[in-house]
Amino acid sequence: MSRTRTSPWLWLALAALLVLLDQFTKVLIVGSLQLGDGFAVTSFFNIVRVHNTGAAFSFLAQAGGWQRWFFTGLGLAAAVFIVWLLHRHPGQRLFGFAMACVLGGAVGNVIDRVIYGHVVDFLDFHALGLHFPAFNVADSAITVGAACLILDELLRVRRSPAH
């Protein structure tokens, strides 16, 4: 865990870049594919336009509409908390990177919920008869961020004096 004088603005800029990349890819998908349309890229990967009104793995997708604002509020609350954390711990590089990824992904999906009423997913992987739920750049950023948070904590525990 490096504790150099990294500015929280670096992490906020990374999060903003991820939001821009996420929204750019979604604009391309919405502008070029109808809901349910797609095409094969490889034998295990497709681009397909899917709408998710729920959360990860379509959790609460059929909840009747209230989940749109619940997940929007949850995403905004998480964003505020993450910005606070980034300002408190800007020099922790792996932690900052992880939080920036989660922040960028959360904001990207919040934008979708506000504009469209659902999240636009389009990355569709499948192999050996198994099909992974479609996802997007924001979901990928959140996943990378979560993995980096776990790694950051494992490294922190490993360096602690008790070990």
- Return the active site residues: 121, 139
- Please give the Cα distance from 73 to 131 (Å, whole number): 30
Contact 48, 131 (CB under 8 A): no
Contact 135, 121 (CB under 8 A): yes
Q: Select from 58, 44, 47 the least CA-distant residue to 122.
A: 47
- Please give the Cα distance from 101 to 122 (Å, whole number): 19
- Please give the Cα distance from 120 to 67 (Å, whole number): 15
What is the DSSP code string of 12-80? HHHHHHHHHHHHHHHHHHHHH--TT-EEESSSSEEEEEEEESSSGGGTTTTS-SHHHHHHHHHHHHHHH
